[in-house]
Structures are given as structure tokens and as C-alpha cells.
Amino acid sequence: MDFYKKALEDKELLSKIRREFHQHPELGFEEYETSGKIKQYLSEWGIEYTTVAKTGIKAVIRGKGNKTVALRADMDALPIQDKKECEYKSKIAGKMHACGHDAHVAILLGVAKILKSIEKELDGNVVLLFEPAEETVGGASFMIEEGVLENPHVDAVIGLHVDDSLKCGTIGVKSGVMNAASNTFVIKIKGKGSHGAYPHMGIDPITISCNVINTLQTLVSRETSPTEPIALTVGSIHGGTVDNVIPDEVEIKGTIRTLSSNHRRVMETRLREVVEGVTTAMRGKAEIEIVEGYPCLINDDSMTKFLCKTASEIIGEDKIIKLEHPGLGVESFAYFSMERPSVYYTLGCRNEEKGIIYPLHNSLFDIDEDCLPLGAALQALLVYRFLKS
């Protein structure tokens, strides 16, 4: 089968599906309407499915043999106001598919339709995973806990994400670490409140916090190699209520992004040491909470080579962009990559001639819908080739 030709025949349907979801975005673990519509399409095409992780879906297309490959599409939206002016802009105030998950769902449904039509030719099974809450707590971890990688036993997992930095018609690929791990931290600096006119009578947590924040920056600039990217960002600081009173407490929140488990452990340890050391030296006290978020997303070498070889059949080698550096953004597909050999790649959706130039998580974000049939064709061919290999 010419998978790209078949996907192009469904282009109008794929755009319709994508726009339908784009107009009705739902946040993490609230995707009841989204989930319901996906189930309607699956039922229409005779594909079995079960509900997992509250609003997630696991669907299965059963071919001949026991080999199984899974495909993942995330389906939640973001709390962003859609400021585009188009017929399919979000109808839900303050919610928007600003990360392309509507496109991912449309592509996976396109794959489902194609592969169901040739299920007797498949040398194994296909598991379709529609993941909730990717943008928040990582629905993938909940799906795995509920056993989506078993019955049938999944041998490999493949995922994609639209990419505003790549032209439509191209894909981005990287072996090894593809995305960073994340840790969030909350620091409470406790001092002693006093009148602003008599600062010597108190212990100023604002001054302590300034020194803590400045010193934390040296963990990246002076304690890690500049060739090994790490990001430490303070994104929130709150303390005090009026201009002439020194407060008792200041709260600092931030995130750490690392590309190895070793760096993750070192940064956790050094953050605690720096915060406690600076705070103690300035007569204050600190409470520190560090929460581990998503792990690193690691692409399997053999799966990455398989992806490049297979994708070249549709787009040619010149349209496969070998990414030099991993991204410091996080992706819950990482949980699947920890469980099975996996590959995750980016699908170009940029088209400057059409004015599609805005980045992910932007209120004007959009995609060139020509990427939809290409994504469906690539995913379908990858499944077909994997089960044949």
C-alpha cells in the first residue's frame, strides 16, 4: 500500500477531525468530550478500545502474530486564550490547543483508519494510546500503571510531536536523550518581621531570598560544564504585603531541567546545600521541597535508525533533520521510553507563506494541516515495517 497516497485521500477528514478538537479544547483529566469523540470514530471503524487513566483510551488493532507496537497521541489542551482569527478557533474561553495535541489525535485516528483497513496484512498488533494530562501530571505514567503496555505485550512505542521550528514536509530526529528531565522546587525563607524603618530589629527574608536566587545561578554558570546544558529558573517569588513592613516569610518557586540522572541528583543536592547555607549565614531558616517531574526522554538507537530508514521512503533523506541538541522542555512520552524501546520525533508544521510562524504555547499558534496526512502516513508505515521486521 502507498500509505501517503492513502493518507492524502483522508486529508479532508483529518482536517475536519483536527478542527473539531481545536474548537473544543479540554484540560488534563477533563477530556471527557474529546475522549467521547475519539471513541465514536473508533466504534465507527470497528476498533476495540477500553478507557484508562480516567479519560485516556487504549485501542487495539489485532493482526496475525504476537509482535506489538504502540503509538501515542496526547490529547489535552492548555489554559491559554486562543487569539487566532479563523473559523476553527477555540470556542472555550481561556482554553486552547496551543501545543498541537489536536493534531496528534487527528493523526493517530488517521493511522487507526488506515491500519484497520489492512489489519489482515499486519504481522502483529497495534496499540493506540490516547493520553490525557500530558501538559500537567503526565497521563502516560498513569496509563502504564494500569497496564496499557500489556495484553498484548508491547514491544516498542513510537510517538511524534508537531514542531513549529521545522517546515511542513520535514521531520526532526535525534538518537539518545531527546528531552530533559524536570524537577520543581518550592523554597520558604523564614525570617523575622519588623517595621521597614527599623530593619535591624528583624531578619529580612526578602534580602535573604535575593542572595539565595543569585547564588543558585552559580550552580549552572560555575559548577557545571558549559557543554552540558542545565537550566535552573526561578519563576515565582512572593513575600510581603505593604511597602514599610518586612515580612516573616518569602516563598520561591522554580524548575530545574537536566539531561542525565547524575546531573539531576547533583542539582537536587547542591540546591539544598546552597539554600540552607545562605539562609543560615543570614540568620534565617529554610524549608525546601523538591519534586521530581518527568524523566529524560531517551530514544533507542536502533529504533531511531529504523525511523530514519523508514521515513526516507516517504519524504526522502534530505527532509530528515538530524537534531544536534536535545530540548530542555519535558515530554511525558519519556515514561514510555523508560519501559520499552522507543522513538519520538518531531513533525514540521511551519509554513511562513501561510503565516504559520508562531511557537508552541503561543496564543496564535497554528499548524499547516498538510502535516496531518504526512504524519498519519509516516506512523502507519512505521507500524507496518516494524511488524514485518
Q: Active-site residues: which are they?
A: 294, 369
Q: How far, in Å, CA of 176 to CA of 197, rounded?
A: 57
Please enumerate in sequence order all residues whose Cβ is within 8 A of that of 111, keeping only pairs 6 or more positions apart, or say none: 71, 128, 376, 379, 380, 383
At 192, phi and psi to the nearest 5? Answer: -140, 120
| The total number of residues written for the chain in this structure | 389
Grid cell locating 238: 512572593
Sheet holding 249-258, edge to edge: 231-239, 249-258, 181-190, 285-292
Please enumerate in sequence order all residues whose Cβ is within 8 A of that of 216, keeping only pairs 6 or more positions apart, or say none: 232, 234, 254, 271, 274, 275
Phi-psi map region of 374: left, alpha, beta (phi>0 left; psi -120 to 50 alpha) = alpha
Q: How far, in Å, CA of 71 to CA of 296, rounded?
A: 19
Amino acid 56 reads G
Q: Are strands 285-292 and 231-239 parallel, antiparallel or unpaired?
A: unpaired
